[in-house]
Amino acid sequence: MCVTTTGQNDHGSCHCGAVQWRLQSLAESAAACNCMVGRRYGVLWAYDFENEGIHVSGETKAYVRGKSIGFHFCPDCGCVTYWRSLEPGQDGRRRIAVNLRLTELEPIASIPIDHFDGLHKWEDLPRDGRCVKDLWF
């Protein structure tokens, strides 16, 4: 059974520890996307805004896809750590998502998985009852 948990700080890092992220509060859900990039990386994303709900640190290298998004990874160990919008939105806030697979399972095990069809329809799919621990192996 998946349970949404909030109010806890959570953090993650790349394999070598050079790039780190911190969530202000534990994510309410994790997103698995089947887009051309998301399925290749095999990540589980937690979304928020940079320097609000998500804080990142450490030097990264970015793969820029199109004109709107950069996928950041550690230049030393190669782990995909987060994606970030290239430009802030109209409200001045910048969207960002961290890779939840870069943390320990226990704090995020019961977070429900949201599936996003970024390949064909560009829309959220219905929840299927699975949570992070069901995809963690």
| DSSP 8-state symbol, 125 | P
Q: Give the tens place of pLDDT for each residue, 42-87.
A: 999 999 999 999 999 999 999 998 899 999 999 999 999 999 999 9
Interval 101-118 mean pLDDT = 91
- Residue 115 pairs with which residues in a beta bridge? 32
- The domain defined by 10-130 folds into 2.170.150
Q: Domain-by-domain residue ranges, the chain?
A: 10-130
Quote helix, strand, coil % in the chain, to nearest 5: 10, 40, 50
Q: What is the pLDDT of residue 135?
A: 86
pLDDT tops 70 at residue 1: no
For the residues of 30-55, what is the DSSP string, one character each? EEEE-STTHHHHT--EEEEEBTTTEE
User: What's the pTM?
Assistant: 0.88
